[in-house]
């Protein structure tokens, strides 16, 4: 079975990056980053058969909201919240996150100034 750990890691880090650009709550940003890290490092591959909240909540730092988004990704291949964040920030600004040494805070500063 296919493992989704790496894909989920990238998706939750992207959520954290986009939330940073939008100056969202720092606590929530850290929660997404920490959950992303824990999912990537999780000893067991996350597969489609793990698409239930109780199983996902066993991963450290994965709460209800992140478990629900993980289930949505495993079932549909996308996360509605991530899509919503992408619509709020122009693609050119999001692409700047791929520039080395340019993190979400610097991208936000460039975008807003």
C-alpha 10: how far from chain center: 6
CA-CA distance, 23 to 57, in Å (whole number)? 27
- 113 residues of the chain, pLDDT tens digit each: 899 999 999 999 999 999 999 999 999 999 999 999 999 999 999 999 988 899 999 999 999 999 999 999 999 999 999 999 999 999 999 999 999 999 999 999 999 88
Residue 1's pLDDT is 82
CA-CA distance, 112 to 2, in Å (whole number)? 40
Q: Which two tokens stand for residue 78?
A: 């996308």
Residue 96's pLDDT is 96
Q: Which two tokens stand for residue 48?
A: 């489609």
pTM of the predicted protein model: 0.94
């Amino acid at each position: 079975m296919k493992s989704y750990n790496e894909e989920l890691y990238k998706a939750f880090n992207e959520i954290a990056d986009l939330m940073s650009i939008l100056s969202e709550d720092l606590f929530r940003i850290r929660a997404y980053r920490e959950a992303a890290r824990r999912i990537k490092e999780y000893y067991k591959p996350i597969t489609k058969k793990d698409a239930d909240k109780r199983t996902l909540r066993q991963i450290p730092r994965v709460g209800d909201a992140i478990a629900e988004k993980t289930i949505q990704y495993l079932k549909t291949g996308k996360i509605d919240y991530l899509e919503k964040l992408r619509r709020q920030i122009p693609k050119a600004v999001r692409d700047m996150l791929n520039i080395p040494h340019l993190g979400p805070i610097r991208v936000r500063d460039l975008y807003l100034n």
